[in-house]
Amino acid sequence: MAEAVGFIGIGIMGKGMCNNLIKGGRSLIVWNRDTKKSEELAKAHEGKVTVCKSAAEVVQKCTLIYSCLSTLEASTAVWPEVQEALSAGKMFVDCATLTPERMAFMAGAASAKGAKFLEAPVSGSKGPAEAGQLIFLTAGDAACKEASKTDMEAMGKATFYFGADMGKGSKMKMVVNMIMGVQLNACSEGMALAEAMDLPVTDMIEILKLGAMNSPMIGLKCPTMMNKTYAPAFPLKHAQKDMRFALQMGDDVGIALPLAAASNEEYKKARQMGYADDDFSAVAEASRGANGAKKQRTS
């Protein structure tokens, strides 16, 4: 069996990634803020998963470590103990969607400890993570990229490498997610208009699927918007975060992004309506306007 690798962050994405690493022959040394998720993973793969008490312990026990924390805030909270535990020869691969500046900061800190760092944000949500169909958008240390090659093949269907220039992987991820967010918002607005005019939404979806605009997004997300079933594959609050990051990048390089800016406001509206933790297809409720409903939370 291949050498055990570390994995920090077993959330919506991390769980599927870990399962596919194990299918690929790896044993894992893991940590998650919610220990229940770590224990459930270990129970599902008896003898192949070791649960640690801290992120630092994972780093200390492994040469190659993956991290997939859900937010910039989570990364900021966990990174200090990771940095403290890093040492010469360690390789750290961060698969989270963070700002390019954050990735560059962590890469510099890792280098100062003699460790190697690769940014590897992924394109894909819960389904692709479970199916091993993620797309890795990488930049950073070439030796770290080579060391993680087989693992990325187990977790994904493609890997892109943008060179040693740290931050380019994250920048590409923001561009991709910005386009996706605008596309989904267009679908939600079209659905709201069709509903308001009493047009059959099922027919609208079929027409889109038969035409040039067909895409997996149409097939996956339009039905959830129609049925108002928003089980989170990609939480709306994360989609809105990525839109915000993309708009900031546009400001940094002087590029106007009016469609993204307008879509971002719709995601913000949906968050305010109570859909932050639901799938980002819940942006449809913002598009429905007065016909949309603020989500009722149960205690």
Residue 139: strand pairing partners: 119
The per-type count for the chain, helices as H runs and strands as E runs, is 14, 9
Between CA 66 and CA 69 the distance in angstroms is: 10
Between CA 174 and CA 232 the distance in angstroms is: 20
Residue 159: strand pairing partners: 136
Amino acid at 132: G
- Please say whether the dihedral angle defined by the alpha carbons of residues 163, 166, 172 and 177, taken in this order, is positive or negative: positive
- For the question of residue 145 being annotated catalytic, the response is no
Judged by phi (left if over 0) then psi (alpha if -120 to 50, else beta), residue 289 lies in: left
Per the residue annotation, which of 15, 145, 173, 268 is the catalytic one? 173
For the range 284-290, what are the long-range contacts, defined as Cβ-Cβ under 8 Å and sequence gap of 24 or more? 284/187, 284/188, 284/191, 284/192, 284/225, 284/228, 285/228, 286/188, 287/185, 287/188, 287/189, 287/191, 287/192, 288/192, 288/195, 289/192
Closest CA to 28 of 42, 39, 14: 42
Between CA 188 and CA 286 the distance in angstroms is: 9
Between CA 15 and CA 165 the distance in angstroms is: 29
Catalytic residues: 173
